[in-house]
């Protein structure tokens, strides 16, 4: 046995792209937690104690250079690849390396790794996609988000903030999306869902294909090189997303689309990518101490010279209608409909052959101490408020957490003042502050996972999982023998913070009932979204709040369910506010008294529900979606009654809208709607003029009572009639008196017996 000891792994000064291993034969490549066998030499690295380690080799004739190479390999694996920085990992964090060779492509491996990254980030509340705030305990970044529905129907704006993007402590990703057309809200949400993770995946691929260990003589050269990689990644990402929308069977994007404005702040570097006419404005301090707006993006309108030239070369037309002076639109060669007032967008395939593109305008900005904050907003803001006014509004807001809300409210007032008689647009804004005072420091995370791609050929790759825990040092590495070593490429992909209780890497977002912030939830649009929530053993969690409070009812629907339990769900309330066809089918609806409604839940600040959660198999997902078709499906994170967090999200059936139900679930078909609702003379589903179905209400109350006093009182006091004012306790004591004494029909006594 030959041994070489080491005390630490100093990182190389320059980043590198890969670690090559010579040799022509294929050989065997393994990285695993168990002690390697003799067939995996020439060297391996094992734990000696918490602060030291040793490289061992069973071959007494091995050259000393191999020991040096072993240590160098470890250094290289953990080296920064332009984004993934984790110097803390080399200061006493333990690592257990495991690798399982798979017959999968690099692309598939990267995609799965990013999906895992996004899921873990959502679980750790690093991603916010609803109005609220994100404040990191580790950086000075503070982001606030706010959106307000206009007067044109469903809100087609959406946004996202991803703190510690790619598990970079100093990196934050912000995106805002403005949909248009009948399906615009779905297009916007689809782009919001795909863009951040796809960007990470494409960045990794571009990075692996680009040499980062060039001898840059100037720091500016290195920054430009880094920016070029991100720009290529953005362009590739947007092209792939546009193609995804074109092929998506559940979203009709022919005459619907969305804008997309994103920024990524990494340290002092700001990268901006814009598709459409949403705008980013930077507030910077001038020499005289006043705040000055700097517009970071160009409103990509059809009348811009370069945009108009491209459109006309593609046989498109650019002009204003007589009743819309100054509003230039892109039109098809023949016909004046539809016309689009932006020159770049996702979707809108009716115009893609005539000059409309989805290529992003990507720029960069190096921040200084003079730069204070950046505003991202949809045209609902900029149509009525100037850059200077927006900066003034945000800067003068007493509490930074309310800046986005104040900006949106001011824009709403300006719409009413300046554009009377015109329907107010959806209005959304993100304000990202660079120098907010950090709150108290929270404990460090308990564990970190590094996901890497190990490529051994052009057609296959492996996924390397590296776990780490504080205050220990533990490596185990085994490689093929020298005669059979093959050329391999190790490239770090990303890191995941795994701690739910140690939230040092998470934004400070309270989950208590008194927190005035809506829940961070993700909408599930298709079966693939559901499958992304599956646990490793193939189960998905379902949240029950009405009849599914009864385990008997739950098992009658899901005979093979497992792990039925009581949990708590913050920031939601129960409401009897939609009509259920099943009550008509079973003969228990009373349309003459409007006692025809069932339960749904909806976001509500300050409310907490006691609900149930159980798991069903993957095979049951399609039937579940079909059965609950009238709901909006959300992925939420309940918590146990003792406050313990869930490891995986649960599916929640929430309030939907008639417009979305008809356009999405019924695909705009009156025939489909008739089969579901019309045949019962139901012309409106979600409404405020209905009362609970008596048999169903009694069943839900009994089910809650069987769960115990806490669940029973919670149901009575946190469940409302459609007026959102009258609780079920009040209803049963007044106009609903006698419901609990009534018996269901004989054939339904078991089903509706609590």
* Whether residues 459 and 428 fall in one domain: no
Question: What pLDDT shows up at residue 222?
Answer: 66
Domain boundary among 433, 457, 474: 433
Residue 676 lies in a domain: yes
Q: Higher-confidence residue: 405 or 486?
A: 405
pLDDT score of 14 more than 80:
no
Q: Work out the burial of residue 616: count CB atoms within 10 Å of its CB; fewer than 13 is exposed, 13-18 middle, 19 or more buried.
A: buried
Q: Higher-confidence residue: 415 or 88?
A: 415
Residue 460 lies in a domain: yes
Q: Residue 417: which CATH number?
A: 3.60.40.10
Report the C-alpha gap between 586 and 28 in whole angstroms. 64
Q: Which residues span the domain enclosing 83?
A: 2-101+445-497
pLDDT score of 475 more than 60:
no
* Whether residues 476 and 527 fall in one domain: no
Bridge partners, residue 132, by sequence:
145
Q: Work out the burial of residue 502: count CB atoms within 10 Å of its CB; fewer than 13 is exposed, 13-18 middle, 19 or more buried.
A: middle
CA separation, residue 618 to residues 531, 540, 567, 625, 628 (Å)? 7, 7, 22, 12, 16
pLDDT score of 530 more than 70:
yes
Residue 173 lies in a domain: yes
* Whether residues 375 and 274 fall in one domain: yes
pLDDT score of 370 more than 70:
yes
Asked if 636 contacts 650 with a C-beta cutoff of 8 angstroms, the reply is yes
Residue 121 lies in a domain: no
CA separation, residue 664 to residues 22, 306, 524, 564 (Å)? 55, 37, 13, 32
Question: What pLDDT shows up at residue 474?
Answer: 30
Kindly state the tokens that stand for 634.
């959300």
* Whether residues 283 and 251 fall in one domain: yes
**3-class secondary structure, 358:** coil
pTM of the model: 0.54
* Whether residues 466 and 422 fall in one domain: no
> How many separate domains does the chain show?
3
pLDDT score of 659 more than 80:
yes
Question: What pLDDT shows up at residue 295?
Answer: 97
DSSP 200: H
pLDDT score of 545 more than 90:
yes
pLDDT score of 88 more than 80:
no
- 19-30 pLDDT per residue, tens: 333 333 323 222
* Whether residues 89 and 68 fall in one domain: yes
pLDDT band at 517 (very low <50, low <70, confident <90, very high): very low
Q: Work out the burial of residue 510: count CB atoms within 10 Å of its CB; fewer than 13 is exposed, 13-18 middle, 19 or more buried.
A: exposed
* Whether residues 288 and 211 fall in one domain: yes
Question: What pLDDT shows up at residue 436?
Answer: 65
* Whether residues 219 and 368 fall in one domain: yes
pLDDT band at 112 (very low <50, low <70, confident <90, very high): low
* Whether residues 689 and 663 fall in one domain: yes
Residue 136 lies in a domain: no
pLDDT score of 485 more than 60:
no
Q: Higher-confidence residue: 699 or 121?
A: 699
Report the C-alpha gap between 665 and 663 in whole angstroms. 6
Q: Residue 628: which CATH number?
A: 3.10.490.10
pLDDT score of 445 more than 50:
no
Residue 66 lies in a domain: yes
Asked if 271 contacts 362 with a C-beta cutoff of 8 angstroms, the reply is yes
- 221-254 pLDDT per residue, tens: 667 778 888 999 999 999 999 999 999 888 888 9
Q: Which residue has the tokens 């067939």?
A: 39
Domain boundary among 402, 433, 464: 433
Kindly state the tokens that stand for 42.
């020439």
Question: What pLDDT shows up at residue 448?
Answer: 33
Residue 162 lies in a domain: yes
Report the C-alpha gap between 298 and 295 in whole angstroms. 8
pLDDT score of 83 more than 50:
no
Question: What pLDDT shows up at residue 605?
Answer: 81
Question: What pLDDT shows up at residue 203?
Answer: 85
Question: What pLDDT shows up at residue 219?
Answer: 56
Residue 690 lies in a domain: yes
CA separation, residue 556 to residues 89, 376, 561, 587, 718 (Å)? 50, 49, 10, 19, 26
* Whether residues 197 and 331 fall in one domain: yes
- 594-608 pLDDT per residue, tens: 999 999 999 888 889
Question: What pLDDT shows up at residue 335?
Answer: 75
- 34-43 pLDDT per residue, tens: 233 333 333 3
Kindly state the tokens that stand for 560.
């093979």
Q: Higher-confidence residue: 121 or 517?
A: 121
Contact partners, residue 471, CB within 8 Å, separation at least 6: 50, 92, 93, 94
pLDDT score of 329 more than 50:
yes
* Whether residues 394 and 489 fall in one domain: no
CB atoms within 10 A of CB 611: 27
pLDDT score of 634 more than 50:
yes
pLDDT score of 156 more than 60:
yes
Sign of CA dihedral 666, 669, 675, 678: positive
Q: Higher-confidence residue: 64 or 573?
A: 573
Domain boundary among 454, 481, 497: 497
Q: Are strands 595-617 and 691-692 parallel, antiparallel or unpaired?
A: parallel
**Cα distance from N-terminal residue to C-terminal residue, the chain:** 70
pLDDT score of 567 more than 50:
yes
Report the C-alpha gap between 468 and 95 in whole angstroms. 5
What's the chain's average pLDDT? 75
- 183-203 pLDDT per residue, tens: 999 999 999 999 998 998 888
* Whether residues 419 and 340 fall in one domain: yes
pLDDT score of 165 more than 50:
yes
Q: Higher-confidence residue: 686 or 221?
A: 686
What does residue 575 show for φ and ψ, rounded to 5 degrees?
Answer: -140, 135
Question: What pLDDT shows up at residue 707?
Answer: 93
pLDDT band at 265 (very low <50, low <70, confident <90, very high): very high
């Amino acid at each position: 046995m030959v041994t070489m000891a080491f005390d630490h792994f100093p990182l190389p000064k320059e980043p590198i792209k890969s670690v090559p291993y010579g040799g022509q034969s294929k050989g065997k490549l393994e990285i695993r937690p168990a002690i390697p066998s003799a067939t995996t030499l020439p060297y391996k690295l094992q734990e000696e104690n918490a602060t030291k380690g040793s490289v061992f080799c069973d071959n007494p004739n091995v050259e000393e250079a191999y020991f040096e190479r072993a240590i160098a390999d470890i250094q290289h694996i953990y080296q920064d690849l332009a984004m993934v920085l984790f110097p803390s990992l080399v200061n006493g964090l333990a690592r257990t390396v495991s690798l399982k060779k798979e017959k999968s492509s690099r692309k598939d491996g990267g995609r799965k790794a990013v999906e895992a990254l996004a899921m873990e980030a959502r679980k750790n509340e690093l991603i916010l996609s609803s109005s609220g705030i994100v404040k990191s305990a580790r950086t000075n970044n503070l982001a606030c988000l706010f959106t307000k529905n206009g007067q044109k129907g469903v809100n087609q704006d959406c946004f996202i903030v991803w703190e510690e993007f790619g598990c970079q402590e100093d990196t934050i990703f912000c995106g805002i999306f403005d949909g248009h057309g009948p399906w615009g809200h779905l297009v916007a949400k689809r782009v919001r869902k795909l863009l951040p993770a796809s960007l990470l995946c494409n960045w990794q691929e571009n990075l692996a294909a680009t040499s980062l260990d060039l001898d840059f003589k100037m720091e500016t050269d290195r920054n430009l090189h880094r920016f070029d990689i991100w720009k290529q990644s953005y362009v590739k990402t947007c092209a792939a997303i546009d193609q995804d929308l074109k092929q998506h069977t559940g979203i009709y994007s022919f005459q619907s689309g969305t804008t997309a404005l994103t920024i990524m702040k990494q340290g002092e570097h700001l990268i901006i990518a814009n598709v459409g006419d949403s705008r980013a404005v930077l507030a910077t301090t001038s020499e005289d101490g006043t705040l000055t707006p700097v517009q970071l993006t160009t409103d990509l309108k059809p009348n811009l010279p370069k945009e108009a030239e491209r459109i006309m070369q593609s046989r498109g037309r650019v002009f204003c209608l007589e009743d819309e002076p100054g509003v230039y639109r892109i039109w098809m060669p023949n016909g004046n409909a539809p016309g689009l007032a932006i020159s770049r967008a996702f979707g809108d395939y009716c115009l893609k052959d005539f000059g409309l593109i989805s290529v992003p305008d990507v720029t960069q900005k190096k921040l200084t101490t003079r730069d204070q904050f950046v505003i991202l907003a949809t045209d609902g803001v900029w149509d009525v408020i100037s850059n200077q006014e927006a900066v003034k509004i945000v800067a003068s807001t007493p509490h930074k957490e309310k800046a986005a809300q104040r900006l949106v409210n001011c824009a709403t007032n300006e719409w009413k003042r300046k554009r009377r008689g015109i329907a107010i647009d959806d209005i959304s804004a993100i304000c990202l502050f660079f120098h907010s005072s950090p709150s108290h420091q929270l404990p460090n995370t308990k564990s970190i996972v590094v996901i890497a791609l190990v490529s051994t050929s052009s057609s296959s790759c492996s996924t390397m999982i590296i776990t780490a825990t504080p205050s220990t040092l533990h490596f185990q590495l085994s490689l093929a023998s020298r005669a059979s070593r093959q050329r391999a490429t190790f490239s770090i992909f990303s890191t995941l913070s795994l701690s739910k209780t140690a939230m040092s890497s998470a934004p400070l977002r309270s989950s208590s009932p008194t927190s005035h912030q809506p829940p961070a939830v993700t909408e599930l649009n298709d079966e693939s979204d559901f499958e992304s929530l599956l646990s490793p053993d193939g189960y998905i969690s379902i949240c029950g709040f009405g009849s599914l409070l009864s385990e008997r009812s739950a098992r009658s629907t899901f005979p093979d369910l497992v792990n039925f339990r009581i949990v708590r769900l913050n920031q939601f309330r129960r409401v009897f506010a939609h009509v259920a066809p099943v009550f008509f089918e079973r003969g228990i609806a009373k349309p003459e008294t409007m006692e025809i409604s069932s339960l749904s839940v909806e976001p509500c600040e300050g409310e907490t529900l006691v609900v149930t959660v159980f798991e069903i198999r993957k095979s049951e997902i399609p039937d579940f979606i079909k059965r609950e078709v009238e709901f909006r499906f959300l992925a939420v994170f309940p918590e146990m009654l003792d406050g313990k967090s869930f490891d995986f999200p649960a599916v929640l059936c929430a309030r939907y809208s008639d417009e979305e139900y008809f356009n999405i679930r019924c695909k705009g078909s009156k025939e489909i709607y008739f089969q579901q609702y019309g045949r019962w003379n139901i012309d409106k589903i979600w409404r405020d003029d209905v009362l609970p179905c008596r048999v169903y209400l009694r069943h839900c109350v009994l089910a809650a009572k069987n769960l115990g006093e806490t669940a029973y009182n919670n149901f009575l006091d946190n469940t409302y009639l459609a007026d959102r004012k009258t609780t079920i306790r009040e209803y049963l004591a007044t106009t609903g008196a006698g419901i609990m004494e009534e018996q269901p029909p004989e054939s339904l006594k078991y089903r509706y017996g609590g």
